[in-house]
Chain A
Amino acid sequence: MPAGWWTRKRHYFLYVVREFTALPLALWLLWLLVEIKRAGDGPARYSPHGSTAFVVFSVIVLLFALYHSVTFLSLTGVIIRVKLFDRPLPSGLISLAMFVLWAVASVVIGFVLIWFGR
């Protein structure tokens, strides 16, 4: 395959972006692990990440995270086969259910993160 194959078609480019989302998401999760580890430093030494650079990094990661969510949850309708009364559910319905689940999970987790922050 030629070196720049993925820049030649929009479809290829978006495929590479989708696969690449793994890297920023992995880095952010490692940051979260560091934040957890810092809680072991004691109250005097604990300092959560809060620099401008970190916020900018998180904004970029959020864009990749949303792209992963939208593309992956859209695919679930194709991957997951659910039969109801011996009839397969439409793939669109399965994807819709996953998007609803995403929204509910986000609200619940967001609420918990903020509620216990008081």
Chain B
Amino acid sequence: MSTGARQRPALMHLYWWFLFSQGGVIAALLIPVHVLIQGILGPLGVVRVVDRHYDTWVQVLGNPIVKLYLLVLIAVPFFHFAHRLRYLLVDFGMPVARTVPAQAVFYGGAVVVTLLTIWVLLTTAPLSLP
């Protein structure tokens, strides 16, 4: 006897959850040291940092491993941020944040940031092998 609709695995849920958790891990492991060194110690002149001078900055940005690293560092956390901020709005009494259009805005925003990052990385410094 047929039991009707078969239960399908929630693949999309798995996909977003994976990006959410990985984005959280990457943000936790990598962002503080970048903020400390590139955002505080470098501008204050405490240490010499790679992005303070054009020559050193362009040289590292041309490295394909650096480009890949920066893509992961910048793009993946946005899927985490999108999830957190969407649910924060729900918690603040905005059920509209649960809707599909809201999901499209938040996760679509993360996709836009990903594409923008790829574009910036590919067009800024020419690829150069070390």
User: Could you list which residues of chain A lie within 8 angstroms of chain B, going by C-beta atoms?
Assistant: 1, 3, 6, 16, 19-23, 25-26, 28-33, 35-37, 39-40, 42-43, 46, 48-51, 54-55, 57-59, 61-62, 65-66, 68-69, 72-73, 76, 79, 98, 101-102, 105-106, 109-110, 112-114, 116-118
Contact = CB atoms under 8 A, between A and B. Distances in A.
B117 A72 contact: no
19 contacts: A1-B91, A3-B93, A16-B91, A20-B88, A22-B88, A25-B77, A25-B81, A29-B73, A30-B113, A37-B124, A62-B32, A68-B28, A73-B28, A105-B33, A114-B47, A116-B50, A116-B56, A117-B53, A118-B56
Given A25-B27, A54-B43, A16 B88 contact: yes
A49 B124 contact: no
A29 B54 contact: no
A22 B43 contact: no
A110 B124 contact: no
A26 B120 contact: no
B29 A39 contact: no
Contacts of A117: 42, 47-53, 56
B74 interface: yes
B46 to A, nearest CB: 10
Interface size of B as a range: 35 or more
Most buried by A among B36, B59, B77, B124: B36
